[in-house]
Amino acid sequence: MSTATLAKGIEETLDGPIGYDVQRVREDFPILTQKVHGKPLVYLDNANTTQKPRQVIDALATYYSEYNSNVHRASHLLGERATEAYEGGRAKVQRFLNASRFEEIVFVRNATEGVNLVAQTFGRKYVKEGDEILISAMEHHANIVPWQLLCAEKGATLRVIPINDAGELLLDEYEKLLSPRTKLVGITQMSNALGTVNPVKEMIATAHRHGVPVLVDGAQSAYHMAVDVQDMDCDFFVFSGHKLYGPTGIGILYGKSEHLENMPPFMGGGDMIKTVTFEETTFGDPPYRFEAGTPHIAGSIGLGAAVDYLTGLGMANIAAYERDLMAYGTAALSEVPGLRMMGTAKHKASVYSFLLDGIHPNDAGELLDRQGIAVRVGQHCAHPVLQRFGVTATVRASLACYNTREEIDALVRALHKVRELMGA
């Protein structure tokens, strides 16, 4: 079934998540029909990376088999088609994020590179000795380490917004931490380790009252909820294509034009210049100023197909469906004896991060895998937040648009089995 037809079906019947036909969605994901260790695959490692719909796989295959060419420089038909499709991917992302301008969408490799780009260009230009960068206690390493590197270089200080025991940001503390020394706030819209969804719109408004720009890490949020960068009024927003049902190696940095236009280049090379002599180089305008060298052409095309796919399903429909599934799973998991959930925020999405009494997460992960259940175990590239909760690792099961209540039931059954096998 085409995405358009599917979307039509949903719109016509949508009444909360009831109109969302997850079985039809699943048919679009060829990988989901396989067995692992002789058991049907239950893929619950979506916060790590999501599976790809046929529409994305086909778009990549079509590019490579029908019009593979370099972009912006070929004087032939294939090159024109490639350029059109590559820039078409940018236009689709612009609409997906509701960015006001095409030029505000910069292609990067992933969310990590997006944060590093801002730290190394905007940060290097504006952050001085004695200044402060403010992040939160629940950040992924991708939104910690680039700022630490910048602070070390500049003699600036990294400050951290604390969280409570449920995994929610302490907003009073946040406001107190903002000062004339604060040069940027970097916050995740959704925590990969806890599932907490942060009130970024309000936090941005608060920062702006203090004249401080805000970078939002959308790596976890962008595939679970509709994002509107104009409404949110963030200064920068980053996400990775591979978590958004698209290919690896492509990500997005959205930046307000007023910032991008004043930022120096990130890397030097072809495609990012206006003129080059041995004495002097003049740089291109955004977004090309930040895109040196041959880009990930297939990545943009695949990401464009992923965005089309999600738009077809409707982000509001996906969010409603996943909200329902999340509540179902929270109730079901609470019945597992000895299961301790880390992250119980009121606003939470699609992540269960938990411990089983007396069972090491690595053992649980392995025994779940043997039963066909794919989860992640470990520190989730978020050491500080795990330290905050006094644990060294958790088991993380995370949801996507194709997961079902039956799969949650399978997870719960498998957890009972893990307890039995471990003698817990």
Q: How far is the CB of 305 from ligand PLP (least distance, A)?
A: 18
- Give rounded-to-5 percent helix, strand, coil for the chain: 45, 20, 35
Judged by CB under 6 A, how many residues of this single chain contact ligand PLP? 13
| Cα dihedral value 108, 110, 111, 112, nearest 10 | -100
220 part of the interface to ligand PLP, by CB under 6 A: yes
Cβ contacts of residue 124 below 8 Å, gap of 6+? 150, 153, 154, 264
DSSP state of 269: S
Smaller CB distance to ligand PLP: residue 182 or 220? 220
Q: How far is the CB of 404 from ligand PLP (least distance, A)?
A: 23
DSSP state of 30: G
By CB under 6 A, name the one of 110, 136, 300, 353 that touches ligand PLP. 110
Q: Give the three-class secondary structure for 395.
A: strand
- Maximum Cα interatomic distance, the chain, rounded to a whole number of Å: 72
394 part of the interface to ligand PLP, by CB under 6 A: no
142 part of the interface to ligand PLP, by CB under 6 A: yes
112 part of the interface to ligand PLP, by CB under 6 A: yes
Q: How far apart (Å, rounded) are the C-alpha atoms in residues 46 and 68?
A: 30
Q: How far apart (Å, rounded) are the C-alpha atoms in residues 46 and 56?
A: 17
Smaller CB distance to ligand PLP: residue 216 or 310? 216
396 part of the interface to ligand PLP, by CB under 6 A: no
The reply to whether 151 belongs to the active site is no
How far separated are the first and last CA of the chain, in Å rounded? Answer: 46
- In the region spanning residues 48 to 107, those forming contacts with ligand PLP, defined by CB under 6 A, are none
Q: Is the peptide bond before 199 cis (omega within 30 degrees of 0)?
A: no
By CB under 6 A, name the one of 92, 140, 259, 296 that touches ligand PLP. 140
Q: Of 12, 423, 128, 89, which Cα lies nearest the Cα of 251?
A: 89
Smaller CB distance to ligand PLP: residue 302 or 372? 302
Q: Which two three-digit tokens encode residue 38?
A: 């002789």
Smaller CB distance to ligand PLP: residue 207 or 219? 219
- In the region spanning residues 303 to 362, those forming contacts with ligand PLP, defined by CB under 6 A, are none
By CB under 6 A, name the one of 219, 292, 359, 411 that touches ligand PLP. 219
By CB under 6 A, name the one of 56, 99, 111, 156 that touches ligand PLP. 111
Q: How far is the CB of 194 from ligand PLP (least distance, A)?
A: 10
Q: How far apart (Å, rounded) are the C-alpha atoms in residues 135 and 138?
A: 9
By CB under 6 A, name the one of 103, 104, 131, 217 that touches ligand PLP. 217
Q: How far apart (Å, rounded) are the C-alpha atoms in residues 247 and 105?
A: 17
Give the contact letters, 183-212, x = binds to ligand PLP (CB under 6 A), - = no. Answer: -----x---x--------------------
Smaller CB distance to ligand PLP: residue 83 or 188? 188
Q: How far apart (Å, rounded) are the C-alpha atoms in residues 260 and 198?
A: 25
Q: Give the three-class secondary structure for 289.
A: helix
By CB under 6 A, name the one of 121, 240, 371, 403 that touches ligand PLP. 240
Q: Of 141, 359, 107, which Cα lies nearest the Cα of 246?
A: 107
Q: How far is the CB of 6 from ligand PLP (least distance, A)?
A: 27
- Interacting residues with ligand PLP (CB under 6 A): 110-112, 140, 142-143, 188, 192, 217, 219-220, 240, 381
User: Catalytic positions, please?
Assistant: 381
